[in-house]
């Protein structure tokens, strides 16, 4: 069993309001990532990720992706999100989680907010010509830039959040929706 200080997060997916294990590499399972799984020169340790709300409670937050027409395309549970947290930090958490999950077992298909460079858009995801490690910081920078240029909108419940530095006090019952308007391309 890993040391508790070594654990970063677990990845779970909500399907039809039921907690289901994440789908990774075609096999369903709960994933526990450790610092050693995601550390490296391009991936700062969890402790170096700047977080506004570390003094608050850590929550499990439901994140959804939706089309401009309102159709939900994906739903996942982000575990251990501090509250309060800024929207910028929430985007970092989300992108880092997606990239770390992918980098743990790279595959031809990537499901995430930002399309990796040289990937082709497919239904509910992206296909990479060859599996490779992704850079979460590049992906997050593209996501932040896209938000600044209206590439996607974020709603907490029914309220649209339009300031990246707004402090969000989240509750476990809140659903955070990312509404994509155009494909986002990153690292």
**Confidence (pLDDT) at 186:** 60
**Confidence (pLDDT) at 40:** 38
pLDDT profile of the chain (187 residues), mean per 10: 39 39 35 39 37 62 88 88 92 93 91 88 84 93 93 93 94 90 59
**Residue ranges making up the domain that contains 127:** 4-186
**Confidence (pLDDT) at 56:** 61
**Confidence (pLDDT) at 98:** 92
The pTM assigned to this predicted structure is: 0.68
**Confidence (pLDDT) at 117:** 86
* DSSP E strands, the chain: 7-15, 18-24, 27-29, 31-34, 57-66, 72-83, 85-86, 109-110, 115-116, 119-122, 125-128, 152-156, 159-161, 167-168, 175-180, 185-186
**Confidence (pLDDT) at 12:** 42
**Confidence (pLDDT) at 43:** 34
User: Among 134, 133, 137, 150, which residue's Cα sits nearest to residue 184?
Assistant: 150
**Confidence (pLDDT) at 123:** 75
**Confidence (pLDDT) at 172:** 83
**Confidence (pLDDT) at 70:** 82
What's the domain count of the chain?
A: 1
């Amino acid at each position: 069993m890993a040391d508790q200080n070594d654990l970063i997060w677990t990845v779970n997916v909500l399907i039809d309001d039921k907690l289901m294990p994440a789908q990774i590499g075609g096999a369903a399972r709960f994933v526990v990532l450790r610092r050693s799984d995601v550390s490296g020169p391009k991936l700062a340790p969890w402790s170096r990720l700047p977080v506004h709300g570390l003094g608050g409670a850590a929550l499990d937050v439901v994140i959804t992706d939706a089309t401009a027409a309102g159709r939900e395309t994906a739903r996942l549970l982000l575990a251990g999100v501090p509250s309060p947290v800024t929207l910028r930090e929430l985007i970092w958490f989300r992108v880092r989680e997606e990239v770390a999950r992918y980098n743990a077992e790279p595959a031809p298909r990537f499901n995430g907010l930002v399309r990796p460079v040289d990937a082709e858009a497919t239904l509910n995801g992206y296909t990479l010509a060859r599996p490779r490690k992704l850079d979460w910081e590049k992906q997050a920078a593209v996501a932040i830039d896209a938000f600044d240029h209206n590439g996607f909108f974020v709603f907490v419940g029914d309220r649209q959040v339009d300031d990246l530095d707004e402090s969000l006090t989240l509750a476990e019952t809140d659903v955070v929706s990312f509404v994509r308007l155009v494909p986002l391309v990153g690292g």
